[in-house]
Every structure is written in structure tokens, then in C-alpha cells.
Amino acid sequence: MSSDGNGNGAEHSRPDPLAAPYREREQSVTLERVGHGPAAATEQLEPETELFTINLGPHHPATHGVLRLLCTLEGETVLDVKPIVGYVHTGIEKSMETQQYWKAITFVERMDYLAYNFNAQAYCMTVERLLDEPVPARGEYLRVIHCELNRIASHLFWLGTSALDIGAITMMWWALRERDYVLDLFEMSSGQRMHTRYIQVGGVIDDIPPGWERKCREFLELFPARIDQYEALLDKNEIWLQRLKNVGVVSPERLRELGVTGPLLRAAGDPWDLRKAMPYSAYSDFDFQIPVGTVGDCYDRYRVRMAEMRESARIVEQALDGLPEGPYITTNRKVALPPRHELATSMEALIHHFKLVTEGFRVGPGEAYCAIESPRGELGCYILADGSAKPARVHVRDPSFVNLQALPEMSEGGLIADMIANIAMLDPILGGIDR
């Protein structure tokens, strides 16, 4: 770390921001803001109104993953929340710099580990932008189908665990049951339930097997009835309403300032969805709606995600109906592996296969940023390419990382139980936050 206070750079006479001792910098609560100034703290504070700082530690049953929250409480009222993250920091971005472009797909999938197809989609879109490589129509449709199924699975898991946090334990069983159907579909098309590596640079890794479409349609037939059952259980449930109504309201302007996107912003009334606003992939071919809330409280967030599941099912159905024929991955052999049967007959195919597997394709120097709409918001991927076969810098703008900044605003002034509901409805995925 360079010390710039006294050494070179005489025109910068600013104090070193890191010179203060660490404990002084880490203030749990800015007392001026909560009205208990340092002077007042010692004089007028009665023993019963003592501020109480607790640690909703990284190991906690109700935080979705290893999130640590430093809460300052007055009784049960939350005065200040400081999220501390980094407990599952894996150095994925650094590791990706040591891998070829297509090997890095496995790394980037493990960031937001419930929306793995979205991570891969954002990354592959950016690489394709750098290569100026178009994706065939069938590949785009298959990508959309798998992404929307992943959105359904992610929202189902969110529903199950959020309801578990708030107390409606039955929902976990039901939601995970449906999620198992979706994971069966993924297993059928790619061999893996999670982290399927299905989306590759240039398209998808393999075509859907025969019988997949029928099984998918069976799932889509039973799914809306299941959502009806979930809504019948929770929508008008007195306890659910009392826990979620008017809890964690933040104005859409403040949410936009904080960079929050996704269902949280849509629940506050702002219909910003990248699938409609800046369409990518094949989303402009489909007819679907964007559910938007009115108040922006936790109940609206719940309703928005439930409606999004229905819309995703509609998108998958339309995509299956209109699935075009053709190649599922780009035919450019410099980027995508040739099909196995060609290796026996064609020398060029063998050479391409060898080069792609050992060295990988090279991407010319440049930088690009592409963003998609993941179940949690805008998932952007920035790649700096330096002409070699490995990316020089990959940064993923993860939606949960930015959405977490809204948690203090949502929770201050409420009770701890409301904060638990806020965390649940925020849908943070710590793998994405920590990367």
C-alpha cells in the first residue's frame, strides 16, 4: 500500500484516509444520525435505553448464507445495521484470469449460485460481443428457455427459504418439490442439476434430447396450478400480511440512487426490466408482462416475484412453441468445438478441436460490458481482453452486492423481526455478493 501522505506527490496534501486506527473507522452507528449524540449519550441516556450492539453473525439460521450484520438496537428497534460481507469470498475473478475463456464459464457460474445460467449468459454475451460473434436462433431460444426455467427455480428457492424464515414452514416443502422438477429438466438436458455449464460461448453446449420438450410441457401444465396453491396459502394469510405489509418501504428514487435493480425496484413501482427495456438474446420475440408493485413494501416484493414466476412459465411455453431449427451453437470452428463425428473425417476439425482444447480461442484486445436481467436485478459482466486466450480482467456486477446497500435503509426504525423479513425479501445470494 503506497503512502502518499508525506512522500512524493507534493500537490496532494490530503491526509491519508487509512492513517486513523481501524477501530475508529469502523463505527457501528453514527450517533448524530440517530439523535443520540456523543454528549447526550453520557448525560441523558437512562439505563433502560442503553443501545445494544449485537452481531447477527455469519452463522445464523435466518441470514441467507454467511452474512454478518452488526445491528445496533434500542430494545427491539433497529437503529443501525451494518452488513459485513466477505465470508465466502472465493477470488473467482482472479481465478478466471488464469483460465481460458471457455473454462472460465465454470468459475463464473458459481458466483450467484442460484442463477447459474444467468451468470454464464452474461459472461458469454460479453465474450461474444468482444468477438462480434452472433449466436444462432436455436441457441438463443434454448438459452432463453433455460434461463427462464432457472428464474423459476431461483424464485421457488427464494419462496421456500423466505417463508421458512418468516415462519410458514410448509412452503419450503412445496417450493422445493417444484424446484426438483426443474432440476430434473436441467439434468436431462445437460447432465447436472446445478452449475450445468449449459450456456457456452456461441450458443449452448448441446441440443435438448428427445422427450425434453414433452417433459417441459408437462411441468408447465402443472405449474400455474401450483402457484395458485402457494398464493392460496400465503396471499391472504393474516400472519403473512402482518409480517410483510408496510415493512421495509424505500422510495423508488432512493432505490435508484442506491443502484438497486430487479424485483426490489419493480416492487417500488418502477417498471425497469432489462428484458423489455434493452432486450438481449431472443426476448424481443416473446410476449410477456412485467409485474410492478405499488407501495414497495415486502408484500409487494413477494407478489412481484410470484407474478414473475407465472410470466417466466409463459415465456418458456412461447419459446418451446416457436423453437426454430438449426444449429444450437455457432458454426464458427474457431470459437466452438466441432461436433464429435467430424473429428473422424475432417482434418481441419481435428486441428480446431486441438487448438480450442489446449489453448482456447483468442480474443482481440478490447473491453466490453454487457448486462442481463437476473432474478435479483441487473447482472453485468465486464471483460478486458488483451489478445491472449485468457481474459485479463473479468468483473461481474452482481445485483445482490448492490441491493445489499438498501438493507440499512429498509431496516432502520423497524423491529428485528422486520429486518429478518427484509433480508428474506431482499433475496441476497452471498456467493454473488462476495464472489
Q: Which of residues 89-108 bind other proteins (CB under 8 A)?
A: 89-95, 97-98, 106-107
Per the CB < 8 A criterion, the answer to whether 381 and 93 are in contact is: no
Selected from 151, 243, 353, 435, the binder of other proteins by CB under 8 A is 435
Q: How far is the CB of 50 from other proteins (least distance, A)?
A: 25
Among 146, 148, 151, smallest CA distance to 204 is for 146
Q: Which is nearer to other proteins, 58 or 338 (CB)?
A: 58
Q: Does 384 bind other proteins (CB under 8 A)?
A: yes
Query: How far apart are the C-alpha atoms of 14 and 200, rounded to whole Å?
Result: 48
How many helices and strands (H and E) does the chain possess?
A: 19, 8
Selected from 34, 51, 87, 320, the binder of other proteins by CB under 8 A is 87
Q: Which is nearer to other proteins, 226 or 355 (CB)?
A: 226
Among 402, 370, 330, smallest CA distance to 122 is for 370
Within positions 13 to 52, which residues make up the interface with other proteins, using CB under 8 A? 14, 17-18, 22, 25-26
Q: Which is nearer to other proteins, 186 or 328 (CB)?
A: 186
Which residue type is seen at 221? E
Q: Which is nearer to other proteins, 246 or 405 (CB)?
A: 405
Q: Does 375 bind other proteins (CB under 8 A)?
A: no
User: What's the angle, vertex CA 328, arms to CA 324 and CA 329, rounded to 5?
Assistant: 140
Selected from 67, 125, 319, 402, the binder of other proteins by CB under 8 A is 402
Query: How far apart are the C-alpha atoms of 308 and 302, rounded to whole Å?
Result: 10
The shares of helix, strand and coil residues in the chain, as percent rounded to the nearest 5, are 50, 10, 40
Query: How far apart are the C-alpha atoms of 89 and 401, rounded to whole Å?
Result: 12
Per the CB < 8 A criterion, the answer to whether 254 and 409 are in contact is: yes
Q: Does 218 bind other proteins (CB under 8 A)?
A: no
Q: Find the part of the chain contacting other proteins (CB under 8 A) among 135-143, 218-226, 336-344, 395-403.
A: 395-403
Within positions 67 to 86, which residues make up the interface with other proteins, using CB under 8 A? 85-86
Q: Which is nearer to other proteins, 112 or 308 (CB)?
A: 112
For 311, 377, 410, the CA distances from 270, given in Å and listed in that order, are 18, 13, 17
Selected from 117, 121, 382, 428, the binder of other proteins by CB under 8 A is 382
Q: Which is nearer to other proteins, 202 or 328 (CB)?
A: 202
| Contact partners, residue 257, CB within 8 Å, separation at least 6 | none
CA quadruple 11, 17, 21, 22: dihedral, nearest 10: -160
Q: Does 215 bind other proteins (CB under 8 A)?
A: no
Q: Find the part of the chain contacting other proteins (CB under 8 A) among 136-144, 214-222, 361-369, 410-418.
A: 361-369
**What mask of x and - would describe binding to other proteins in positions 259 to 288, judged by CB under 8 A?**
xxx----------x----xx----------
Within positions 291 to 350, which residues make up the interface with other proteins, using CB under 8 A? none
Selected from 65, 136, 139, 203, the binder of other proteins by CB under 8 A is 65
**What mask of x and - would describe binding to other proteins in positions 178 to 207, judged by CB under 8 A?**
-xx------------xxx------------
Selected from 350, 392, 415, 417, the binder of other proteins by CB under 8 A is 392
Give how many residues touch other proteins by CB under 8 A.
Answer: 83
Q: Which is nearer to other proteins, 175 or 313 (CB)?
A: 175
To 10 degrees, what angle do helices 137-166 and 298-321 make? Answer: 150
Query: How far apart are the C-alpha atoms of 156 and 305, rounded to whole Å?
Result: 9
| Contact partners, residue 20, CB within 8 Å, separation at least 6 | none
Pairing of strands 393-397, 377-385: antiparallel
Q: How far is the CB of 22 from other proteins (least distance, A)?
A: 6
Selected from 173, 222, 332, 357, the binder of other proteins by CB under 8 A is 173
